Amino acid sequence: MGKHITASELDEMFEWKADGVGPATIHEKMSALRRRQRRPVPDLTTVWRALKGKTFKRGKTETRCRKRTYTSKSLKKINDAREV
């Protein structure tokens, strides 16, 4: 199993990416930081996947559950019919 990347590390990675730093350099910076903290270093492929958005997705809407059966428009229609 790959090493997990924390939310603060992801924030730093995306800041570096916005500054135009490449994935290999980002991996080197992150590796140095992790070695100083004596924590396991993630692979370069883990960094690539995180930067591309294939893993560690944050703020994405949930799509696994059943879709809502009533929309706000259909509920209004039902309530209008009830009041008559």
Q: What is the dihedral of CA 74, 65, 6, 25, to 10 degrees?
A: -90
pLDDT at 62: 67
User: Do the domain assignments include residue 51?
Assistant: yes
User: Do the domain assignments include residue 32?
Assistant: yes
pLDDT at 59: 67
User: Do the domain assignments include residue 76?
Assistant: no
User: Do the domain assignments include residue 81?
Assistant: no
Q: Which amino acid is at 46?
A: T
Is the model's pLDDT at 1 over the cut of 50? Answer: no
Structural domain range at position 25 = 1-59
User: Do the domain assignments include residue 48?
Assistant: yes
Q: Given the structure tokens 């490449």, which residue do they identify?
A: 22
User: Do the domain assignments include residue 70?
Assistant: no
User: Do the domain assignments include residue 68?
Assistant: no
Backbone torsions φ then ψ of 40, nearest 5 degrees: -65, 145
pLDDT at 64: 76
pLDDT in tens, 20-63: 999 999 999 999 999 999 999 989 999 998 888 888 777 666 67
Please tell me the total count of domains within the chain: 1
